[in-house]
Structure 1
Amino acid sequence: MTALLPGAEEATAPVAGRTGSTLRAVVRQVATTVLVIGVVVLLWVVALRVWDVSPYVGKTPAEVWTTLFGDDDSAELRTEIWALLQQTLTDAAVGFAAGMLTAVVLAAVVVRSKALEGAVMPVALVLQTVPLIALAPILILLVGRGYGVVAIMSAIVVLFPALVNIVLGLRSVTPQMRDLVLVYGGSPSTVLLKVGFPSALPALFASVRIAVPGALTGALLAEWLATGKGIGYAVVSAANRSQNARVWALVVVVSLTALLLYLVAQLVETAVLGRFGRPGGAR
């Protein structure tokens, strides 16, 4: 066998350590997700029994499973739910992209200018606190019932938490790091791009983990209040027709989807931050 060059073993040891740490974090996150699903199912069953919910209204996990996989009409229902879920995921992706992109741009503006911070943050806070049900009619009048209103409503849900997190991350740059870049001829923009955003990666991924379920929630609200498409509208429509088994099946599917998307965001965070030698994942 070819001998390793001097120092090669020491150089590969940190890489192997980071890889092992990343794999352990991935296994831990997957196991935590499975445990959360188990706990939710248990609480679901217990809640139905403790509050003595009518079987006509409250459906057990077994009944939802039968609705999705055990009835004669299950295949048709699954096909319909899949089409609805694709629509909702598309709406959520539009809102997620709009909200995160807006948050990143505004965070860069806020960090560069104290004067603009006083203008941007109050507006973002107002958008966060005003109920979307109140804003929906105005937004529909302004942009119609297409992807524009979906993007705006989902972005409103995503924007403020992401903006606050990213601003804090960008401000984590120490004066010593900033002065070093400036001494070597860099500009404030260089500090922001070369130092600020890499330093803000943990905060950025934390914002992504918050934004994923937030964008899905915004998409469901937009479908209910504006577009009349996707799972958001289908749940309301089924509830109005007292199709309770269908309502529970739709809610379970979209909840599991949100949980899986959150897990994917965690796994991507762990993999990316692991390459930078930083711990990733939810705390």
Structure 2
Amino acid sequence: MSAPVIHRTSAGQRSWSTIIALLRGVGSLMLIIAIIGVLWVGLLQVFDVSDYVGKNPADVWEYLFTTPEAAEHRADIASLLAVTLRDAAVGFVAGLLAASALATAVVTSRVVEAGVMPIALILRSVPLIALAPIIILLVGRGVGVVATMGGIVVLFPALVTIVFGLRSVTDQMRDVVFVYGGSNLDVLLKVAIPSALPAVFSAIRISVPGAFTGALLAEWLATGEGIGYAVVSAANRSQNTRVWALVVVVTIASLLLYMVAQLVERIVLDRFAMAAGTA
């Protein structure tokens, strides 16, 4: 058995596949939003939450679109969302780059694996709120704390997923590379990384909601900016409709970016379909 080979599909097939993937993504997003809406209303009714605390979708819609101050509310939340998107992007990139580098080191060295995996597990196990004071002391309250907190949330699941993908190389594939004079580096670059492409995209999809979680925690605990801090501030002032609106907006943004990552994955994997071939 030889190394995976890349089969290019025709332009027409790629276009049709992209349209299908886009329609599926939109349909999935609408279904998820509908399910969340039903659960939202249902749980408020089941637990008999007071109207003062528990706001339903109609209340949030009114807050964002129909009240006289709706335009002001949307502009305010949009500015907060922009900050949170920036912070999530910083954590996403930091965590994914760290996971990719560490995964490469782990699959090439047992010594590195023995040192890295326990540390990554510890970072995953310790509540971030407990680590926040130490992180703030070390890196301050700027972009460093955002990158660190977001990176910690993203790191472990992405690391495990990418390591699994890189280790999908079979002994037969490795032997073929060695027979043709290749090295361990050639195995990594020409076989392991292409084979790990689906796992890398899985790590990206997993990392999107994780990056938002890290950003919200960093904003709440350290930076005092973005939606993470605004939710806490609004809750302390009993601005409950604002709290629900902020949560709804950031949830929809996370879902949209997850769907975008899923669509890009489908396009790339359809464009460069990985298949095992025979030499």
TM-score w.r.t. the length of structure 1 is 0.91
Task: For residue 134 of structure 1, give the secondary structure of its aligned residue in structure 2.
Answer: helix
Task: For residue 277 of structure 1, give the secondary structure of its aligned residue in structure 2.
Answer: strand
CA RMSD of aligned residues (A): 1.8
Deviations 1:91-126 (A, max 9, x none): 111100000000000000000001210100000000
- CA distance in 2 between counterparts of 1:35 and 1:93 reads 26
- CA distance in 2 between counterparts of 1:83 and 1:266 reads 26
Matched, 1:265 2:268: no
Runs of 4+ aligned residues of structure 1 deviating over 6 Å after TM superposition are 11-15
Paired residue type of 1:201: L
Q: Say which is worse superposed, 178-187 or 266-275, in terms of deviation.
A: 178-187
- CA distance in 2 between counterparts of 1:252 and 1:19 reads 33
Shift of 1:27: 2.1
Q: Per the alignment, do residues 180 and 19 of structure 1 end up closer, same or farther by CA in structure 2, a change over 3 Å counting?
A: farther
Paired residue type of 2:144: G
Paired residue type of 2:61: W
Q: What number of residue pairs does the alignment pair up?
A: 269
For structure 2, the 5+ residue unaligned runs are 1-6
Deviations 1:49-102 (A, max 9, x none): 222211100111011000011111111111111111111111111100000000
- Pick one of 115, 123, 142 that aligns with 2:138: 142
- CA distance in 1 between counterparts of 2:109 and 2:168 reads 16
Q: Per the alignment, do residues 244 and 167 of structure 1 end up closer, same or farther by CA in structure 2, a change over 3 Å counting?
A: same
User: Which structure's relative contact order is higher, taking Cα pairs within 8 Å and 6+ residues apart?
Assistant: 2
- CA distance in 2 between counterparts of 1:141 and 1:71 reads 43
- Pick one of 54, 65, 74 that aligns with 1:69: 65
- Pick one of 246, 263, 266 that aligns with 1:250: 246
- Pick one of 87, 109, 123 that aligns with 1:91: 87
Shift of 1:147: 0.5
Aligned to 2:152: 156
- CA distance in 1 between counterparts of 2:142 and 2:15 reads 44
Matched, 1:240 2:201: no
Shift of 1:13: 8.2
